[in-house]
Amino acid sequence: MKLILFGPPGAGKGTQAKKISSHYDIPHLSTGNIFRYNIKNQTELGKKVKSILDAGELVSDETVVALVVDELQHDKYDNGYILDGFPRTIPQAKALDEHLASQDDSIDLFLTLSVPQEELIDRILSREEGRSDDTPEKIKTRLEVYSNETEPVLNYYKKKGIVKEINGMGSIDEIFERIKTELDKIS
Ligand code: ADP
């Protein structure tokens, strides 16, 4: 099962991706987590992307695509995966398509979590991960970047007919039940 979990910052992608990963036993690939890990460990990649994440802007398509394509080569992704935070731009979506097509492969399902904007801001401000991009000003930038660059990705996948919209309001378990209903149809 190859999934994309999509939605604005604060929609709960990371939380739900973890639950899907443990329930269906497929790995969770979060580009944001990979970047934060590299920043924390002061790797070359971390040094390159730190100021970009701090500003709430997007890392270049070239960097992200190379990272994901490289990561997906590992055996652990052979039986499926959940992509979280990628693709986030149309060029990234096209690059992923090309990569998968070259291996005669494709994404099975694109789940988009819908949550109203006011709720997103409340959720981000109340989470306690201490992320440097979780401040009111950075959240504003991230939501703008989302609507300008990332939301078009939803239409790109709608045209492929693999999008399922999930109501992202309610408890973590209620939302996970909605996701399971969709995933159980395809697994
Ligand atoms: P959120 O969805 O809550 O904003 P993420 O953990 O997915 O958080 O991403 C955090 C940051 O990492 C983004 O604001 C961006 O700077 C960078 N990032 C993550 N994924 C991508 C991507 N696919 N393309 C470009 N930048 C990315």
Query: Atom 1 of ligand 1 has which residue's CA nearest to it?
Result: 9
The mean pLDDT of 16-40, rounded to a whole number, is: 98
Average model confidence (pLDDT) across the chain: 97
Instruction: List all residues whose CB is within 6 A of at least one atom of ligand 1.
Output: 9, 31-32, 35, 52-53, 56-59, 64, 85-86, 88, 92, 133, 142
Question: 């070239």: which residue's tokens?
Answer: 62
Give the Cα separation of 170 and 74 in Å (integer). Answer: 35
What amino acid occupies position 183?
L
Give the Cα separation of 143 and 13 in Å (integer). Answer: 15
Whether the pLDDT of residue 89 is over 90: the answer is yes
- pLDDT tier, 100 (very low <50, low <70, confident <90, very high otherwise): very high
**Which residue out of 18, 59, 72 has the highest number of ligand 1 atoms within 8 Å of its CB and is therefore the one to mutate?**
59
Whether the pLDDT of residue 135 is over 90: the answer is yes
Instruction: Output the DSSP codes for 33-69.
Output: HHHHHHHHTT-HHHHHHHHHHHHT-PPPHHHHHHHHH
C-alpha distance from residue 56 to each of 50, 147, 165 (Å): 10, 13, 25
Q: How does pLDDT run across 59-88, given as a tens digit for each residue?
A: 999 999 999 999 999 999 999 999 999 999
Handedness of CA 173, 174, 175, 180 (dihedral sign): positive
Q: Report the share of the chain in percent with pLDDT over 70.
A: 100
Cβ burial of 17 (10 Å; 0-12, 13-18, 19+) is buried
Supply the residues annotated as catalytic: 13, 88, 127, 131, 142
* pTM given for the model: 0.96
CATH architecture of the domain covering 2-183? 3-Layer(aba) Sandwich (3.40)
- pLDDT tier, 25 (very low <50, low <70, confident <90, very high otherwise): very high
Residue-level pLDDT at 129: 87
Q: Which of 3, 166, 176, 138 is nearest to 81 (CA)?
A: 3
CB 45 within 8 A of CB 39: no
CB 166 within 8 A of CB 111: yes
Whether the pLDDT of residue 128 is over 90: the answer is no
Q: How does pLDDT run across 29-41, given as a tens digit for each residue?
A: 999 999 999 999 9
